Structure 1
Amino acid sequence: MSKAFQDSLKKLSDLNLIDFSKFSKRGIEKESLRVNNANISSSDHPKSLGAALTNPFITTDFSEALLELITQKSSSIEKSLSDLKLILAFTHQNIDDVIWPGSIPCSIQNEADIRIANYGTSNSGRLKELYRIGLSYRYGSMMQCVSGIHYNFSLNKDFFKKWQGSHAVFQPFQDDKYLNLIRNFRKNAWLLIYLFGASPVVPNTFLTNRNNFLDPLNSKDSYLKNATCLRMSELGYMSEAQDNLNIAYNNLDEYISDLKHALTKKHAPYEKIGLKKNDKYIQINDSVIQIENEYYSSIRPKRVIKSGQRPINVLRDQGIEYVEVRCLDNNPFLRGSIDKNTAYFIEAYLMISLIDESYSFDENRIEEIQENWQNTVRNGRDPNLLLKRDGKTISVKSAAEEVFNKIYDFACALPIEANDLKNNILKSLEIQKSKVIDSNLTPSGMILKEMEEKNITWDEFCDNKAQENITYYKAFKKDTTNIKIASETSIKDLMNLESLKEVDFDTFLKDYLNAI
């Protein structure tokens, strides 16, 4: 254990900051496909779920069939998970479709079957749709139908002010600490892919007209024997255009500069696509990324923004407010795709990443991180897999043990009044340790084991889990009135928004692009 880590642990303990449950908030976003008879749904976003543009609980992601369920920020893990279950129950009880439990979509015979999400006629709604049209031209619609869990986590101002211990402006201190967290998170993010990856197999239709590196599993599916998270491979959320960005997160100014470069640097293949087709816009711009959210990363620095604001500007002017973890698969064995043990481990991992020492990233370090990431994605459960660290190799078991030891030390430093937090972290830690000892206990290992034992396809495996979820949530009796009211109100809000007089879309888009 490094002296710097121990010193940080002691300082937080001395300042009564080690019990982060007093200072933290979290929120969960769950993406899931609507499916009908194991085919992607072709229907409109259900009116019973409200308006996708204005409902704070239920929206859509890339496709009209790709739901995004959103919990509001909460002061406890248990409340966030409970809120997610309420939204899932409301959704199950108000649609005719099945909610697909896996991160990899069902078999989709034709990309034309994937309807791009529609958000109405307001300028903000049209911009959201245009962004998605651009994604379809850049990457294809199939890739955009993968889904996952986004985990948002923040610590409040009091936490950072007390940690800083001076009367100086605290936001730069907070920004530096969050970026320190992000660098450390990325350094060992391969471990989260190993522990929680749940996409070792894809239906063959997912590979149509694409180069791939997979082996046949059965007549309908392809896989890699030791894969963990193909969603995070080049088959899923990856972009060749972004490969050379090398965004380092060393400081906020550098990050914003790198992001602005990606937003404004033209990319020849996207220039070739063009901005319009038949006089209709087909992408927002022809830069490396159209908007900030197109940058693919396992974790992002974020700040809450108001409608019409550019995230890059708000981050520059107001600093980092929270982080968004983006590398978690939907776990089909869990009712809500994420459970208490996963959440406690994630938050403990975020805290040790926050307080551990971190060096600035250069191209070599970023390259090592990306290599470890891809090797774990493709081959993480290979017992002989070696990772890179500072030009040397280290086994998965040894590297994981180092992270586990820091989490153990962190948990043991918690005060007596935080005994529940300590016990929850230690319980989760034991579960994760067992997965490193036996890779068959990982979600990816369990999926392949069940598919092979039952001789079933990916579609059959996921449909079985989906039917179990339907039975569970149809019988769910807790009150979902607030979600129902929000859904009904969102339709009125959309109508009000669309009744406002706005500038023409050409002017709106020009102003949007010129705002950075």
Structure 2
Amino acid sequence: MTSFSQRLEAFSANPEALKGIGRGVEREALRITPQGTLSSDAHPKALGSALTHQWITTDFAEQLLEFITPVTYSVPEMISQLQDIHRFTYRTLGEESLWPMSMPCYVANEDDITLAQYGSSNVGRMKTLYRQGLKHRYGSVMQIISGVHFNFSFPSSFWQQLFGDQTPYARQESVSEAYFGLIRNYYRFGWMIPYLFGASPALCGSFINKTESKLDFKEVGNGTCYLPYATSLRLSDLGYTNNAQSSLKIGFNGLEQYLQGVRAAIGTPSSDFAKIGVKDENGYRQLNSNVLQIENELYAPIRPKRVAKSGEKPSEALERGGVEYIEVRSLDVNPFSPVGIDDYQVYFLDLFITWCALSESAPMTDCELQCWRENWNKVVLEGRKPGLTLQIGCDGEQLTQAEWGQRVFADLAELAVVMDSAYGGDKYQSVCKELSSWFENPDKTLSAKLLKDVLDNESIGKVGLGIARDNQVLFADGDYQAFSKQQFEEESEASLKRQQDVEQGDGISFEQYLAEYFGDSVSL
């Protein structure tokens, strides 16, 4: 097996092979009132159609916006695009602003959360019905937790350097295998991401009241709950999770194993979800009563992806063309960045993901899968605890989090030199040097900084509303950089027309549409 150092040496001789990394960001954010409570307004028409807009859509709720950047090959350009999307949105929202954290603002009643609406087309109705199912299964408040998803792909030159000349089919197989090796290493070492960038150590007590949490929260002020060493409560059992999924054996040792696991999950009946019922006298309650309604319901900190064709399921796209990119899903919203993520984080993710791909990655057993789950859970609940130890594999060996982090950063420092050689400047080395110091000084982490602000103000609501107002002022000024106001206005208008075309193009009933979508995979 080729080692990391051998592969890095080869790239050192040809650093240009690292140029051309593709990136995109999906950032979620709740719309809030000037008082810091959930907006009661529908998705603003000036933002276009949530069904068909390229850059601005909704996630679970009408109040939960999702901003999507197109694929770009420059970090500054990607951040500029995200800033422009925020700029246009803020200038459209009037008095409303965006909640700057992952865990929700104050929610008085779950009925205040309105399911996202996508119009009268079959595809639009299915999207809303899927969310109806999530509401019945997990509760609405769980579904308005916000995150940042980071999409990443290597250029063809990277694969050429790794594998040399191959037939198209052999290249597709090699690339998919390499991406799954990356995914396995992400599971092994990705706990570093909530340690460094987790930003949900505290939350509003209104959230706790709607869960059955057994965590030993401390309280400050009027209803703010926190754990002293937590990094990312969003990634804990408090966050979006499906206990029924814990028994699923979805492996990551290759594309075939992964697809078999996902399809089994979609076809596995759930006695708990069957109690909800698929239909009642008022209509549908969920898409089906299986463990997963559709593939999107599968919780995972990282996913293999391929751009799907119209009407194609994610698994069908993967089976057709192999893995095209990966989606990192374990990033909290960064409250210290007006757009929820900053360039420091992106440069680190470049480094870390590339290291995961270049490092050895043996097949992962069920025992090891359980081991990484336990490590992640330790880090999200008590990641800044002095002397915290983590398991290395299933043989009982343990290392402190700081020691393990420094071992990985020793490799990242070498890779950073090659990345800077490819892209010019010293950004990667600078980021690597700074973040490695965070293992010795946990107070530098995002979770520590945010918790200090919350404790100083005795309120997460006060801190969040203050940041939201600052961002509102920030985006009220300044010129567009990557897009233009006209582009946004034209896209909003065009998206409304596209939705209308979709609705007029439906030629079958909703029942037939669902039957054709699921085929024989589920029982409706």
Shorter-chain TM-score bucket reads over 0.9
Q: Which of 227, 230, 234 is matched with 1:231 structurally?
A: 234
- Mapped to 1, the partners of 2:16 and 2:265 lie a distance apart of 37
- Mapped to 1, the partners of 2:254 and 2:77 lie a distance apart of 33
How far apart are residue 375 of structure 1 and its match? 0.5
Single out whichever of 492-501 and 229-238 deviates more from structure 2. 492-501
User: Does structure 1 conserve the Cα–Cα contact (< 8 Å) formed by 2:153 and 2:326?
Assistant: yes
How far apart are residue 13 of structure 1 and its match? 3.3
User: Does structure 2 conserve the Cα–Cα contact (< 8 Å) formed by 1:87 and 1:480?
Assistant: no
Q: Indicate whether 1:451 and 2:454 are aligned.
A: yes
Change in CA separation of 1:17 and 1:295 when aligned onto 2, cut-off 3 Å: farther
Change in CA separation of 1:201 and 1:214 when aligned onto 2, cut-off 3 Å: farther
Q: Which of 494, 502, 508 is matched with 2:507 structurally?
A: 502
The residue number in structure 2 matching 1:258 is: 261
- Mapped to 2, the partners of 1:346 and 1:33 lie a distance apart of 25
Cα offsets for 1:247-295 (capped at 9, x unmatched): 2210000000000011100111011111112241111111111111111
The residue number in structure 2 matching 1:408 is: 413
How far apart are residue 498 of structure 1 and its match? 1.1
Amino acid at match of 2:175: Q
Amino acid at match of 1:491: L
Amino acid at match of 1:26: R
Q: Indicate whether 1:511 and 2:516 are aligned.
A: yes
How far apart are residue 417 of structure 1 and its match? 5.3
Q: Indicate whether 1:492 and 2:492 are aligned.
A: no
Change in CA separation of 1:515 and 1:309 when aligned onto 2, cut-off 3 Å: farther
- Mapped to 1, the partners of 2:70 and 2:310 lie a distance apart of 17
User: Does structure 1 conserve the Cα–Cα contact (< 8 Å) formed by 2:17 and 2:161?
Assistant: no
The residue number in structure 2 matching 1:278 is: 281
Change in CA separation of 1:364 and 1:18 when aligned onto 2, cut-off 3 Å: farther
Structure 1 unaligned blocks of 5 or more: none
The residue number in structure 1 matching 2:102 is: 103
User: Does structure 1 conserve the Cα–Cα contact (< 8 Å) formed by 2:178 and 2:357?
Assistant: yes
Change in CA separation of 1:170 and 1:54 when aligned onto 2, cut-off 3 Å: same
Amino acid at match of 2:464: C
- Mapped to 2, the partners of 1:497 and 1:211 lie a distance apart of 41
Structure 2 unaligned blocks of 5 or more: none
Matches within 5 A, 1:68-107: 68-96=66-94, 97-107=96-106
- Mapped to 1, the partners of 2:172 and 2:310 lie a distance apart of 23
How many residues were matched structurally? 510
- Mapped to 1, the partners of 2:114 and 2:276 lie a distance apart of 20
- Mapped to 2, the partners of 1:431 and 1:89 lie a distance apart of 30
Q: Percent of aligned pairs with the same residue?
A: 35
User: Does structure 1 conserve the Cα–Cα contact (< 8 Å) formed by 2:23 and 2:71?
Assistant: yes
- Mapped to 2, the partners of 1:105 and 1:13 lie a distance apart of 45
Q: Indicate whether 1:125 and 2:127 are aligned.
A: no
Q: Indicate whether 1:23 and 2:3 are aligned.
A: no
The residue number in structure 2 matching 1:185 is: 186
Amino acid at match of 1:205: S
Cα offsets for 1:400-448 (capped at 9, x unmatched): 011111111112234745332xx11111112212221211111110111
Change in CA separation of 1:109 and 1:87 when aligned onto 2, cut-off 3 Å: same
The residue number in structure 1 matching 2:209 is: 208
The residue number in structure 1 matching 2:334 is: 331
The residue number in structure 2 matching 1:298 is: 301
3-state SS of paired residue (2:275):
helix
How far apart are residue 3 of structure 1 and its match? 7.1
Normalising by structure 1, what TM-score? 0.96
Change in CA separation of 1:492 and 1:151 when aligned onto 2, cut-off 3 Å: same
Amino acid at match of 1:215: F
User: Does structure 1 conserve the Cα–Cα contact (< 8 Å) formed by 2:15 and 2:421?
Assistant: no
User: Does structure 1 conserve the Cα–Cα contact (< 8 Å) formed by 2:11 and 2:418?
Assistant: no
- Mapped to 1, the partners of 2:81 and 2:17 lie a distance apart of 23
Matches within 5 A, 1:422-441: 423-441=426-444
- Mapped to 2, the partners of 1:232 and 1:246 lie a distance apart of 20
Normalising by structure 2, what TM-score? 0.95
